[in-house]
Amino acid sequence: MEWKNYNFEFEGIDKYLERIAEKKTQLDALRPFPIAALKNIKENLTLEWTFNSNSIEGNTLTLQETKMVIEEGFTIKGKSLREHFEAVNHHDAIEYVESLVSSNYKLSDTDILTIHGLVLQKIEKEFAGRYRNAGVRISGANFVPPNALKVDAYMTDLIDWLNDESISINSIVKAAIFHHRFVWIHPFFDGNGRTVRLVYNLYLMKLGFPPAIILKNDRKKYYDALNKANNGDYSKLVLLVLQALERSMDIYLSNLNNTYEDYQPISSIVSEPDVPYGQEYVSLLARQGKIDAFKEGKNWYTSKDALNDYVKKRDRNRVTKAKN
C-alpha cells in the first residue's frame, strides 16, 4: 500500500475545517486562560481521555471508578489489577505528553518509546518502550502488519513525514493520517492504540488544540474507519477526529466564556414547533458535520442558531441552483 496516496474528502469537510478554525481563533483570543478554569478543564479532560482510551481497548472501569483509582488510589472490587494499572499508567503518560508540548516541538522516536513505556509500565515490562521484534496479527482487522524488521524504518519515515512542515495538508487531517499509519505499522506487541491516541494528540496540542478524544461509544465507528483507511479512504477517520476535536474545543469554550449555554440535546431542539426537521435528520446533519454540534455520551447537542444557519445556507444554495 502506498500510504501517501490517500483520500480524506467528504461532503462538508471544508465547512467543518472552517468552523474549527473559527473556534481556534476564539480560543486563542481567550489566552492566557484563567488558572482555576484551566485546571478544572484539564482535570476533567485527562480523566475522560484515560477512561475512553482504556475502554476502547477493553478496560471495564467506569468513568467514576477510573477517577477513584487515579485520584484516591482506591481498589475497585471485582476489577483486575491490570485494569487498575492501566488507569494509573495512562494518566502518567498524559502528564508526560503535556510536559513535551511546545510550539516548536518535534516528534521523536525516543518520546514515542517513552510514552509507550509509561502505558505498559507495571503491566508488561518486557515489552514496555520497545518496538516489536516478531510478527503480529490483529483480530478483526483487514490487514496484516508489516514484518518486524521493517518497523524501525517505517516509524522513522512516519515521524519525518509528521515533522515535515513543507507538506501541504491541513494539520488536523495530517494528525488523522498519522494516527492510522501508526496503527498500520503496529510497532509494538501491545499498547499500540493507547500510544497512538497519546502521540497524535501531542501533535495537535503542540499546534494549540486541545486533545481530540475518541469516545468509547464510537469504538465500532473508530475501528471501521481504521479499516477503511487501510484501503486509502481516510474520510471516516478524518470525520471522527474532527468531531472529537470540536467536542473538546466546545468544552474549553463553554467553560471559559459560557458561549455554549444555549446548546441542548437534539431531541429537545426538534420538539419545538418552529423546527422543520425531525430528530433523525438533525442527528444525521450533526454526525456529518453539517451543523455545529458536539457529542456527550450517546447524545448529540446543538443550538437553534446552528440549525437556523444550516437552513439559511440550504435556502441560498437552492436559489443559486434555480438561477443557474
Delineate the domains of the chain, giving CATH numbers in brackets. 13-257 (1.10.3290.10), 264-323 (no CATH)
Span 110-133, mean pLDDT? 96
User: Average model confidence (pLDDT) for the chain?
Assistant: 90
Span 201-206, mean pLDDT? 98
Q: What is the pLDDT of residue 294?
A: 75
> Using CA atoms, how far apart are residues 304 and 2, in angstroms rounded to an integer?
44
Span 41-58, mean pLDDT? 97
Beta bridge partner(s), residue 301: 265, 294
- Residue 319 pLDDT > 80: no
Q: pLDDT of 253-290, one tens digit each?
A: 988 875 555 678 888 888 888 888 888 888 888 888 78
- Residue 117 pLDDT > 70: yes
Q: What is the pLDDT of residue 1?
A: 42
Q: pTM for this structure? A: 0.81
- Residue 147 pLDDT > 90: yes
Q: What is the pLDDT of residue 322?
A: 64
Q: pLDDT of 125-146, one tens digit each?
A: 899 999 999 998 887 777 889 9
Q: pLDDT of 12-37, one tens digit each?
A: 899 999 999 999 999 999 988 888 78
Instruction: At 290, give phi and psi (nearest 5°).
Output: -85, -15
Q: What is the pLDDT of residue 33?
A: 86
Percent of the chain with pLDDT over 70: 95
Q: What single-letter DSSP state applies at residue 270? A: T
Closest CA to 194 of 106, 99, 100, 92: 92
Q: What is the pLDDT of residue 216?
A: 96
Rg (CA), the chain: 20
Please identify which of the residues 84, 116, 179, 186 carries the catalytic annotation.
186
Sign of the alpha-carbon torsion through 198, 254, 15, 295: positive
* 186 included as an active-site residue: yes
Sign of the alpha-carbon torsion through 229, 191, 202, 20: positive
> Using CA atoms, how far apart are residues 133 and 24, in angstroms rounded to an integer?
41
DSSP code per residue over 63-127? HHHHHIIIII-PPPTTS-HHHHHHHHHHHHHHHHHHHH--TT----HHHHHHHHHHHHTTT-TTT
Which amino acid does the sequence have at 11? Answer: E
More confident residue, 256 or 107: 107
Cα end-to-end distance, the chain, whole Å: 42
Q: Tell how many helices (H) and how many strands (E) occur in the chain.
A: 13, 3
